[in-house]
Amino acid sequence: MSSMLTGQPSTPDPQLVDALTKGTFAAVDFETATYARASACSLAVVTVDDGQITSEQSWFIRPPDNRYYSFNTALHGIGPANTESSPPFDQVFPEAYEHIAGRPVIAHNAAFDIGVIRDEHVRIGASWPEMRIGCTLVLSRRAWRGLSSYALPSVAHFLGLDNFAHHDAAADARTCAHIARYLIAVTEAPDLDEVARTLGVNLGMLDPADYRSCHAKGYGTNGWGLLAPDPAEIDPDHPFAGAKVAFTGSLSSMTRQEAAQLLVNAGGEFTQGISRFTRYLVFGQQDFSKFVDGQKSAKTRRAEAIISNGHTLQIISEDDFLRMLG
């Protein structure tokens, strides 16, 4: 089945997947109440032992002040009424961590889900837990080259796993677990470590003192210290592909460095300043509201001057940026 890793991708045979899948891991998925990662409102953990799903557990979590943004609620359907009586993160996560029980943790776009774990622990003043990390988004890009998108619904569709409710934590974690099972089968690997080695990916890790993301090997770094992806992995039709993008103000959903890395992963170019070649200027959520109210920084005035001269620079909000990332 390893021949599927090159050329035009073909859908693996589910019966062969069941026969060949081994490995032990825990798939996780978080949903958040606001743009801040430290606002978990739902968590699911799906455990896989020797290639078979052995347990599924999900929780509602009361986010800080039980506060929600309408954009997030529109995505996952969870609102204040769902979590008013739910336990907070510091009560839920220890139970979830027991379910993980030392297994490697996987997620689709693990940088987000592990970011929730990291930021929530910082918020409550607790040390980061220990875990090894795999990302089915990163691994899928290496396993099945040429897909039009590697978002969870797209990879699921390619594998015939369409029948799931995206942005339901339990459904997303279960689908992620199945994608990992397919990855193990097509690489004929005994576990995620061997999958990663076969596909040229470094698994990530988290411990109380350090964090390293799951990423493809062979990445170089650009002048800002950002990991630059293999050009073959970039979707040329992504809205940020080939675009120079600058940021202004404080982001509420992530650090600027993390946003810049996501931009680079999508094929964009992070720039500190703006010029007539800049495609987008991204405002942090709070700063965008000031911009709408007419409060303009020097960078904003520079952007407006560029636009008035007929160039294609667009001013977008953090919300717009997140939606365009996909």
Q: In terms of pLDDT, which residue wins out, 138 or 273?
A: 138
pLDDT tens string 16-45:
666 566 789 999 999 999 989 999 999 999
Delimit the CATH 3.30.420.10 region(s) of the chain.
2-216
Token pair for 216: 């493809």
Distance CA 43, CA 112 (A): 13
Burial environment of residue 315 by CB neighbours within 10 A (0 to 12, 13 to 18, 19 or more): middle
Average pLDDT over residues 195-223: 83
Number of Cβ within 10 Å of residue 305's Cβ equals 13
DSSP label of 273: S
Coil, helix or strand for 1? coil
Delimit the CATH 3.40.50.10190 region(s) of the chain.
221-325
Q: Which CATH superfamily is domain 221-325 in?
A: BRCT domain (3.40.50.10190)
Distance CA 37, CA 211 (A): 16
- Name residue 104's amino acid: P
Distance CA 326, CA 321 (A): 9
Distance CA 58, CA 173 (A): 10
pLDDT of 3 reads: 39
pLDDT of 14 reads: 67
Given a cut of 50, whether residue 78 has pLDDT beyond it is yes
pLDDT of 173 reads: 98
Average pLDDT over residues 266-273: 85
Measured CA to CA in angstroms, residue 185 lies from 77, 133, 162, 219, 312 at distances of 34, 19, 19, 26, 46
For the chain, the C-alpha Rg in angstroms (whole number) is: 20
Q: In terms of pLDDT, which residue wins out, 139 or 8?
A: 139
pLDDT of 237 reads: 79
Average pLDDT over residues 295-323: 82
Given a cut of 80, whether residue 236 has pLDDT beyond it is no
Average pLDDT over residues 160-187: 93
Question: Under CATH, what is the fold of the domain 2-216?
Answer: Nucleotidyltransferase; domain 5 (3.30.420)
